[in-house]
A and B are shown apart, each in its own frame.
Chain A
């Protein structure tokens, strides 16, 4: 796909930082491409884009891209993003996080970021496992799937990330997959344009660890699984409920409006500076 890579390459720190740490066939690079093309398509200046991540395979992404980049601590990128955005609201803040990063060690920061509603775009790459440390069970690993720390099968349930985010107050929640990369770019664009906290969950594949441990095949088989199990939310009503049972919905799942924190804080400043003022 020469057109895709042509756009992508303009934004990569090719001189210093390649090859990358990801396995061949990993979904994270595809997500990075979709994010870059979304930024390019929206004509954002790379000087105004800040990419912030935590720790894990997906969180290595900022190192490779030519934006303002902040690779933080495990689970905490949303805390850092809160400070960056509030200090300089003109910046476009994009957080890259994984399922372990955002939902286990960073679960508290995640739900409070949803609730607080600062204009941050969060791309949560969900591969159902801890890839960087070698395939341990994650808060998204489905019931009875295998991880290196659940060799007899995971006896816990995985989070439904979208439902969690919606319940916690996020005004914009979408889900895409690595397989549906064109749709993914569109979802990222919508998320960036959304005023407020936006979340895009991306179903990705870790064939080297999760796929191997659970005998789900290689990258191609796992991407075919994504293709066969994703139901666009627009079509969900037409599918009989029994056929939805092992599927997941994709597209914009939730989109409401709620006052954004930085804009609200500007009102706080106005009020503090002019307590007698009108309005």
Chain B
């Protein structure tokens, strides 16, 4: 490795550590959480690392209070996050909803394990896929990103913070037990090379300030507590000032705003990785750790002259409707491989509307889907 300022640091680390280091690189300076397998390492690492950079860590009494503290810290102007797994993710839904409604940037990492309920604390699953979209009550539009490697745990945690800050919304990192616990060598970028987005601050004087201003970008500038703006924040339906409202036109305006800030920026938010798709007539659709088995299966298929390709959504929510609508036209078969009884396949079928054959490959016995299984499925169905 060359010496000098551009030296790239290589490290053999765990996915959960990469999430923690990505958070610090993104500017996160507050973590509140509650111990839960298989995400606990993120809390442990940040308990040690955050104070070194002047940040703060607190272990709360439960996951409900954890996300409450995270939102409070963000409203006070500090980039904040928590990390959890299934049961804790369920408890956090109340405050994920609050963060949508109050438009508070924050990051929630869900290192998925098997469920329902206490389920399988140390085993892998992707069964919170739909919960990441529809977990809390009411109408809202979610952003969730899904890493499939240790390097992506680092990169996607940074991306989650950038999206949260840019769109004033909670962002979910949908990892899983294998990605969180496996160790890989990653090249940590030079801190100066990392692109960081910060929330837009108001430029108007306090008397003009509206914490939920309606503007053409749908994202309102965000002052912090203690900066002289003295705004109100509430989980009640509110007007642009943040005061409770029951006026139908203000209610619609607010819910449209929550929708539009996501749906008008899909090109910025959605990322899909595709491999061998140029001439593919068969595609495997898989996210997270399953995408890695799918990549190997596609290589195996190509060796047998089967025109297979991989579609890996890096952003799960919002779902890549437009991309799929286009690509499904060229396919004879789409295999949706996931570690659950069939969640994302419903989304694929919703977009498909009969364009091609969609088949599910589901594993929910706590073991990973293997490349052989996916390859066999391709051979069987083609």
Contact = CB atoms under 8 A, between A and B. Distances in A.
Interface of A: 13, 16-17, 46-48, 50, 52, 62-63, 66-73, 76, 78-88, 90-91, 108-109, 112, 265, 268-269, 271-273
Contacts of B75: 70, 80, 83-84
Nearest to A71: B234
A16 B250 CA distance: 15
Interface of B: 30, 32, 48, 51-52, 54, 56, 58, 60-62, 64-78, 80, 94-95, 98, 224-236, 241, 243-244
23 contacts: A13-B232, A13-B243, A47-B228, A66-B230, A70-B72, A70-B233, A71-B235, A73-B68, A76-B64, A76-B94, A79-B60, A79-B65, A80-B72, A83-B70, A83-B72, A84-B76, A86-B69, A86-B73, A87-B80, A88-B76, A109-B64, A265-B56, A273-B54
B236 A88 contact: no
Dominant secondary structure of chain B at its interface with chain A: mixed
A108 B66 CA distance: 12
Chain B CB count within 10 A is highest, among A17, A48, A76, for A76
Given A73-B98, A84-B76, A272-B52, A68 B230 contact: yes
Contacts of A272: 48, 51-52
Given A70-B234, A112-B60, 5 more contacts: A13-B243, A69-B233, A70-B75, A73-B95, A268-B51
B98 A72 contact: yes
B60 A63 contact: no
- Pick the 4 closest A-B CB pairs, nearest first: A83-B72, A79-B68, A83-B69, A272-B51
A17 B241 CA distance: 11
Chain B CB count within 10 A is highest, among A71, A79, A85, A87, for A87
A79 B72 contact: yes
A56 B76 CA distance: 24
A269 B236 CA distance: 37
A70 B64 CA distance: 17
Contacts of B225: 50, 68, 70, 84, 88, 91
B212 to A, nearest CB: 13
Contacts of A80: 68-69, 71-72, 75
B71 A83 contact: yes
Nearest to B50: A272
Contacts of B65: 76, 78-79, 82, 108-109, 112
A86 B68 CA distance: 12
